[in-house]
Structure 1
Amino acid sequence: MRQAVGQTVQVNGRSVYVEESGRGADRVVFEAGQGLGRTCWDPVLPLLADRGRLVAYDRAGFGRSGRTAAQLGIDDMAADLVAMVEAVVSGPFVPVAHSMGGLVARRAAESLRPQLRGLLLLDPTPESAPVYDTFAQTARNVDRAMSVTQALVRSRSLARMVSGNIRRVYPADTYAAMLAEDFVPAGIAQTRKEFRAVAAAIPQLRAESPALPSCPTVLLSASRPVKGRERQHAVITAYQRRWVETLPDGRFEEVDSGHFLQAEQPGIVADRVVELLDRAPDRHARSG
């Protein structure tokens, strides 16, 4: 069973639960995708344990973090990430962000730019992608469906049913923690809020995108689409590649994986983190 020990950190009048692991001079901070928290990084963390201090946390409203009645926006989540980093992380670090977490990390990077040694993004959807053209309606449809899910997960057997895609790719002890913390009514309610947050943020992000990261950036794109979404997947992949091409120091890489790369290909994720750490100028200065 997972036995990580964490702490509660106050950020912007909210509380977030943070787990630190690993040892060494380097620092890596993990930002989960929509609907999940710190536990989604369990397959990756042991592979980096000897490389540095690893920081994974639950956004406000998820997992062991404090509940919030407020409708937080992407900017609020980014501000919480910045505040958490300021409280817990000293010096330069590499952020690793999955899916929607990429929007949060990119917005936070505007404030954290002096500390960034690199940025690793796992299968994010750029705000320019056409899938977001009608996302407000999509979010409303998803919200109606998730309102049913929110009621269903009161039953543990039904919670297992609706989280089958997670159960198939994560270790049993990690999945047990997710089932207890994320696939509960409060967790589903927070996921619904995050869908609304993305829908509200897209017009703003399209009008004024987050500043492009100047640090080395790697985007890992999942190559295996969900059945029936092959065409949409191909378009998103094209927009991922197009966004990376705008960066001063970016790399696009397709990975043989579904959307949860950190669970299906943790070795590749860990290797790319190490590559970013090794590329950082201050590391070469220390070793030269």
Structure 2
Amino acid sequence: MKKIQLKVAIFFLCLLSTIGYSQTQNALKDKSKIEKLEIRIDSVSSSIADITKTMQAEFKNLSENQVAIKNQFQSLTNKLNSLSTEQNTLKDIMTDLNQKTDKEITSIKKDTLTKFLVVSLSILFTLLIIIVIIVVFQKKFKKVNVVEESIKIDAKVSEMLENQLVLLKKEAVGKKLPETEIDHSLPVSVGNEIFRMRKRIKHMDENTKGIHALKNALTRLEDEFNRQGYTIKDLTGQSYVDELTVKITNTIRRDDLEPGEEIISRMITPQIFHNGVAVSHGEAELSISSKNMKQP
């Protein structure tokens, strides 16, 4: 029994030893793990401390930079305000200068315009005088040229009309038409031209170039005109009576005529006769006495 108890006791001791050893080993293992964890914790804490220091340093730098930026921003704001003030001042100066400049320019413009007008008027007046002088001289020279050219034209017209009358005469050869059927339109036109040219020649200088050639051409034309039985009658200066068939186109009153007196003062176109028969009654201007209008 004692042996059994002893064995049991030994068994329990062995069991307890084994359990204790196991616990001891486990404890040692746990201690080793704890030490490793402590080492890692120390390492992490050291890293955290380093990071914290770095962050504090960076934050300090950022704070210092922020202050510097703030100061720089304030400095720039002050400069901007100063520039804005200077700009306003410059605007005021520019406004004053513009107003003064506008006034000066207006004054200069007025003076310039006045001077320009005076000079322009002077130039225009001078040019006008020069033009008048030139025109006067040109008229004198041109008048001679115009008269000479008109004489040449009239001479050519006279020759042409003479040829037309000759052709008309040739066409009428062998034709014995009654007076009422004869066409007098061309001879009437010729008679009017002869009358017009004769009146012009009366007012021309005998020394005018070409006037003698015109007279000769006109004489030849009138001779041919007369040979064909046509004559021209000028009633200028004659007393007007109702029997006259001339057409009165205008009437004027004159103080130098006696009451009731009527005179043909001007023939506009002459009377033209063919073999004693009027083929154109002509047109005239009649002068009557203004005394007819006065009360007795």
What interval of TM-score do these two structures reach, taking the shorter chain for normalisation?
under 0.3
The structure where strand makes up a greater share of residues is 1
Higher helix share: 2
Higher relative contact order, chain-length normalized (CA < 8 Å, sep 6+): 1
Q: If you compute each CA radius of gyration, which structure gives the higher value, 1 or 2?
A: 2
TM-score normalised by L of structure 1: 0.22
